[in-house]
Amino acid sequence: MFPNRFEYRRPGSLAEAVQILAENPDAKLLAGGHSLLPAMKLRLAAPSTLVDLSQIEGLRGIAANGALTIGALATYNQVHDSAAVRQAAPMLADTCGIVGDPQVRVRGTLGGSLAHADPAADLTAVVLALGGEVTVVGSGGERTIAADDLFVDLLTTSLAPEEIITEIRIPDLAGAKMAYEKHEHPASGYAVVGVAAVLAMGDGGTIRSARLAVTGATAKATRLSSAEAVLAGKTVRTETIAAAAAAAADGLEINGDLYASADYRRHLVGVLTRRALERATG
Amino acid sequence: MPTPSGEQPQRLGVGSGELPRWEEGADLSIVGRAHPRVEGDAKVTGGAQYASDVRLPGQLYARVLRSPYAHARLTGLDTGRAAALPGVHAVLSSANAPEIAWYEDSLLFDRTLRFVGDEVAAVAAESEEIADDALRLIVDAYEPLPFVLDLDTALAPDAPKLRPSGNLNGEPTVYERGDLAAGLRDADVIVEETYVTQAALHNCLEPHGCTAAWDGDRLTLWSSTQSVFDVRQRVAEALGLPEHHVRVIKQHMGGGFGSKQIAWKQDVIAALLAKESGRPVQLMLDREAENLAVGNRNPTRQRVRLGAKRDGTLTAIAVDAAQQIGAHPVGGEGADVPAIYQNLYRCPNVRTEQRLVFTNTGPAVAFRAPGHVEAAFALEQAMDQLARALDLDPLELRRRNYADQDQAEGKPYTLPEALGRCYDLAADAFGWAGYQKPPAAGPKRRGVGLAAHDWAGGGGSPPGYAWVKWNADGSVDVVTGTQDIGTGARTGLTQVAAEELGLPMDRVALHLGDTANGPYAPVSSGSATQSTIGPAIRAAAADAKRQLFEAASEFLEAPPEAMTIRDGKIHVAGEPEDRATPVGDVTAQIAPTMIQGHGERGPNPEDKSVRTVGAQIVEVEVDTETGEVSVCRVVAAHDCGRIINPTLVDSQVIGGVTQGIGFALFEDRVVDAGTGVVLNANLEDYHVPTAADVPPIRNVHLNLPDREANPTGAKGIGEPPLIPTAPAIANAVYDAIGVRIRELPLSRRRVLDALATREAPR
Ligand SMILES: Cc1cc2nc3c(=O)[nH]c(=O)nc-3n(C[C@H](O)[C@H](O)[C@H](O)COP(=O)(O)OP(=O)(O)OC[C@H]3O[C@@H](n4cnc5c(N)ncnc54)[C@H](O)[C@@H]3O)c2cc1C
């Protein structure tokens, strides 16, 4: 349970951080450390250099202006406690209050969670369902990646090795109904399965469009497109929700592990989809 | 004070058998009070010293290389690069370690390795990090051998063998009374089912380990152990030292639960590394090693048969139990699964058969109420099933089969009414009789369940000794070789001394856990510390008090028989209260002459059986969509004789129930079938219940002094509260959803699978 030896750097600017990353191909960014350090202790990760982001200004702010902008280094607790987030995207604020345990929420960051892309992370599915995007800075300058394009595979994102997430943006979702339902692992607290649902509402209680995302079940956070298709254009009714839940796991490649078989997870995808939709619309 | 009979050898001090009993209703002022833990301040301020807190000049830190194979022969080992790593001071393995016999048929460093985690080599270095790096530099080669990982494969006719004699540890143990076949013939209803229990890991908060330091040819070992004297004996034997050259110290401990009741290899490995390096060596296990190599609760498979008449009278009880004891006979691996079948219910026809089975998995060792926990899961579910088959209230069925004597021993219980009183207390506090299920809301279903237990321990036994020394200022030091393994024994035992001496608690200092500075006391196991050592301390205190009165007699001009001590003052019968003399006046007068009392634990009653019993009732809620079981509330009632300290008793009950919830719902060592690797030897995948899993637990106090067990009237409570929790939960789950789950744990997946194949309620 001891990491390999590594060098520790603490740059004062994004440019400096990008440069260190470019010069050290197996360097790793350090944000809250709650995914990276456990992996290093198990020697699943052995970076030569840690690049601590904590001294870089301007990565923690939270601003709302219809859309929501959250600095990559904002911690779960900061997001959970933010009135602006609660107002604009209550599901995001709520979820940040149930990630892991208090220690994790004090240090863990939104940027770290999205960059790590743990298959059982909560925020990946939540940001995906919210239709969020991330701003990244790298040697080629700044670009924006939609959450839909961010998660590539197990622990893999579309970030280039020397790219740094600087902020997360959530579009204006005024009037949307949303909820995240999680079945947590009894020991680790991670999502065995989690389903996030965001419904954009039209007139007379119809669902204009739906974005649903699952975590825990698949290699990466994934849209539940079959359920979304069932919901789009329908009015919110018990039968609609049941039909969406029944379709939710269609087409998913679901993984099993020590704790939960693929079948059990498939079952939970349906149950949690229904519960998320019920709570969002209830 | 009666003198010992002329036959006996001359003896110093008092045996507890000679003391007058503290009867029910006795006027006691300190015993029975919720005194805070005497070591509480030290613990919350970080001052309490645990085995890993020891820091000696030049101290090294050791790590152990363990077998990656479930069964293998070590064919090559090159420790050269490890030894050459800067900061490494000693490397031990089968290549250079002395041949020390271990586990009956193996060596401290054996070349035949029988489970993933068996010790291969050890390194001592200037830091744990260096030692860890050194382990990675050892080049080890093995010839893998065929292995067996569970009961089914180990018992198969052509199974690979762990030992030339096969995979059974000795012959099956059979107990019989009456005529089982006749009992089953006479039965109107028969329940026949098979139950499976899992390997649970002790997961003591403080892992096993020790610090070893030599001074010439004398060894001091700070060990996290339940028995300083047993560790001393075993280590001295292994190293060929006389016992008095080994001193074992244990001051504070973060739990043992049975897994620390024996000396393990690391005690000797640390001593050898310290010898080799000429430096003190600390060897603490990490969580993974802790969960591989130093014990687990044996998995069992129990085929149970119960026969009963229409009115519920049991005519037959039978169990055929196979227990998976792992790779080595470590001592205490053969948990007493049959006991509960033999004694919990009155039944003339009983047969129990027990087989202990070796497998290539980590060795099993005693785990809080060993055997009884596993057996209660099966028997108490079978009883519930029987009650439903007979359309009887499960509590009524138990009352109809009430046992007021130890049927295996053929002796009456010292407290035959205790279990009945526990039934009453638990049922009343829970509201069992009038319980109404709330209407089903959505996918959630509620249910209630009951289970009883009996426990062979709690009574304690001789030998066990204590000394009491009066200091010049009238305070006392109480010295005994027992240990406080985290239960609060220090506090309960101090209360006994303070009570007998008539001193306030803060005038009594209790010293324990040091073989060099206290008389023998046995291992802290069997829930016996209070009931073994409490009477010895009381006897020593009585002896010291008698001598004090004799010394005071001259100064106070009164006969010793007329004296008592209350709140630190000697009162003479017939004299006014304000004439009382502080004990310090007497002790100061005679100082430096020192009064010393000696006490020993007297024998248990010969014609009676001392046991502990209890019952628990739980309410659960089952989420029928996810399989989640939540325990809503638990009511417990347990017999532990006189309650010395209600807070300590409540703590044991809460802790036991919590472990019982973990055993029932979550805990399960998972061994990879292809390799024998334990996949969840950590706390990230293996869930030990936390505060969030624990519902309100109400412990109803019986507090009935045991009239005959010992003169303090107190018995133990450490282990029993864990016994009935899992079956009570399983019975409640059945009540909620109409499905019997006969395999532990009642994981979400298992509950859901069971719901999918819902059987008709029986
Ligand atoms: C006990 C425990 C329980 C947990 N339970 C949960 C849970 O229930 N749900 C859950 O979702 N998570 C859980 N986690 C994980 C936790 O949420 C992590 O903190 C989070 O996933 C990573 O954020 P971090 O800031 O700690 O990142 P770090 O660990 O510092 O970094 C993680 C990875 O992201 C990279 N990275 C970090 N910041 C950036 C950035 N700005 N740009 C690019 N790359 C970056 C790092 O280089 C590293 O590869 C748990 C962790 C622990 C230890």
Tell the burial category of B314 from Cβ atoms under 10 Å away from its Cβ (0-12, 13-18, 19+).
Answer: buried
pLDDT tens by residue, B231-290: 999 999 999 999 999 999 999 999 999 999 999 999 999 999 999 999 999 999 999 999
> DSSP characters for B155-186?
HSTT---SBTTBSBSSSPEEEEES-HHHHHHH
B136 CA to middle of ligand 1, Å?
Answer: 28
Backbone angles phi, psi at B576, to 5 degrees: -65, 150
Mean pLDDT, rounded, for B434-441: 90
B216's CB contacts (< 8 A; 6+ apart) are: none
What integer pLDDT is reported at residue B10 of this predicted model? 62
At which of A15, A34, A50 does a domain end?
A50
Residues of chain B by 3-state class (helix, strand, coil), percent to 5: 30, 25, 45
Average pLDDT, rounded, for chain B: 96
CB contact under 8 A, A259 and B685: yes
Q: How many CB atoms lie within 10 A of CB B119?
A: 25
Q: Are B246 and B235 in contact (CB under 8 A)?
A: yes
- The CB density around residue B305, as the number of other CB atoms within 10 Å, is 19
The 8-class DSSP code of residue A64 comes to E
CATH number assigned to the domain comprising residue A233: 3.30.390.50
Instruction: Give the mean model confidence (pLDDT) for residues B732-742.
Output: 97
Distance from residue A118's CA to the centre of ligand 1 (Å): 8
Provide the 3-class DSSP secondary structure of residue B435. Answer: coil
- The answer to the question of residue A256 being in a domain is yes
Average pLDDT score over chain A: 96
Q: How confident is the model at residue A1 (pLDDT cuts 50, 70, 90)?
A: confident
User: B626 and A268: CB-CB below 8 Å?
Assistant: yes
Residues in contact with ligand 1 by the CB-under-6-Å rule are A 28-36, 38, 53, 72, 99-101, 104, 107-109, 111-113, 115-116, 118, 121-123, 164-165, 188-190
| Closest residue on chain A to B671 (Cα) | A258
Residue of A6, A98, A258 best to disrupt the B interface, most CBs of B under 10 A: A258
Supply B495's token pair.
């209360």
Q: Dihedral sign, CA of B633, B639, B643, B644?
A: negative
Cα nearest neighbour of A260 on chain B: B749
Q: Are B656 and B737 in contact (CB under 8 A)?
A: no
Distance between A4 CA and the closest CA of chain B, angstroms: 9
Q: What is the pLDDT of residue B757?
A: 84
* Count of CB atoms situated within 10 Å of the CB of A8: 9
Per-residue model confidence (pLDDT) at position B307: 98
- The whole model's pTM is what? 0.96
Domain that holds residue A244: 177-281
Q: Does the pLDDT at position B511 exceed 50?
A: yes
Q: Please give the backbone phi and psi of residue A47, each rounded to the nearest 5 degrees, phi first.
A: -65, 150
CA max distance for chain B: 85
Cβ–Cβ below 8 Å for B626 and A187: no
Q: Give the pLDDT score at B134.
A: 97
Nearest-CA residue for atom 41 of ligand 1: A165
Q: Given an 8 Å threshold on Cβ–Cβ distance, is B679 in contact with A258?
A: yes
Give mean pLDDT, residues B123-141: 97
Cβ atoms B233, B267 nearer than 8 A: no
How many CB pairs below 8 A link A and B? 38
- pLDDT score of B6: 43
Nearest to B684 among A187, A264, A267 (CB): A187
Task: Please indicate, yes or no, if residue A22 is contained in any of the structural domains.
Answer: yes
Please say if the pLDDT value at position B5 is more than 90.
no
| Interface residues on B facing A, Cβ-Cβ cutoff 8 A | 128-129, 132-133, 286-287, 625-626, 628, 665-666, 670, 679-680, 683-688, 693, 748-749, 752
Does the distance separating the beta carbons of B132 and A186 come in below 8 Å?
no
pLDDT digits (tens, 9 = 90+) for B285-312: 999 999 999 999 999 999 999 999 999 9
Give the distance, in angstroms, between the CA of residue A86 and the centroid of all CA atoms in the same chain.
Answer: 17
Atom of ligand 1 nearest to the CA of A51: 47
CA distance, residue A189 to nearest chain B CA (Å): 9
Let me know if residue A242 belongs to a domain: yes
Q: What's the B636 CA to ligand 1 centre distance in angstroms?
A: 42
| Tokens standing for residue B602 | 């007297």
Structurally, chain A folds into a number of domains equal to 2
Q: Please identify every residue of B annotated as catalytic.
A: 719
How many Å lie between the centroid of ligand 1 and the Cα of residue A271? 27
Which chain A residues are within 8 Å of B63, Cβ to Cβ?
none
List the one residue out of B223, B169, B231 whose CA is nearest residue B364: B169
Residue B171 · residue B334 · CB < 8 Å: no
Pairing between β-strand B119-125 and β-strand B88-93 as defined by DSSP bridges? antiparallel
Asked whether the beta carbons of residue B685 and residue A186 sit closer than 8 angstroms, the reply is no
- State the pLDDT confidence band at B203, using cuts at 50, 70 and 90: very high
Q: Residue B58 pLDDT > 80, yes or no?
A: yes
pLDDT tens by residue, A158-208: 999 999 999 999 999 999 999 999 999 999 999 999 999 999 999 888 999
Amino acid at B306: L
Q: Is residue A2 part of a domain?
A: no
Closest CB to A271 among B626, B679, B683: B626
Is the peptide bond between B463 and the residue preceding it cis, with omega within 30 degrees of 0? Answer: yes
Q: How confident is residue B8, by pLDDT bands cut at 50, 70 and 90?
A: low
Residues belonging to chain A: 282
* B693: closest chain A residue by CA: A186
Instruction: Tell me which H or E stretch contains B608.
Output: none
Q: Return the amino acid letter for A261.
A: S
What tokens does A253 get? 């490649």
Q: Is residue A32 a part of any domain in this protein?
A: yes
Name the minimum distance, in Å, from the CA of A163 to any CA of chain B. Answer: 31
CB B349 within 8 A of CB B317: yes
Indicate yes or no: CB of B693 within 8 angstroms of CB of A261: no
What pLDDT digit, counting tens, does each position of B534-549 carry? 999 999 999 999 999 9
- Exposed / middle / buried, residue B579 (Cβ in 10 Å: 0-12, 13-18, 19+): exposed
Give contacts of B666 with chain A, Cβ < 8 Å. 186-187
List pLDDT tens digits, range B701-719: 999 999 999 999 999 999 9
Q: Quick one: three-class SS letters along A165-216?
A: EEEEEECCCCCCEEEEEEEECCCCCCEEEEEEEEEEECHHHEEEEEEEEEEC
In a domain, A155, yes or no: no
Domains of chain B in start order, with CATH, are: 51-145+207-252+260-293 (3.90.1170.50), 300-458+607-756 (3.30.365.10), 460-600 (3.30.365.10)
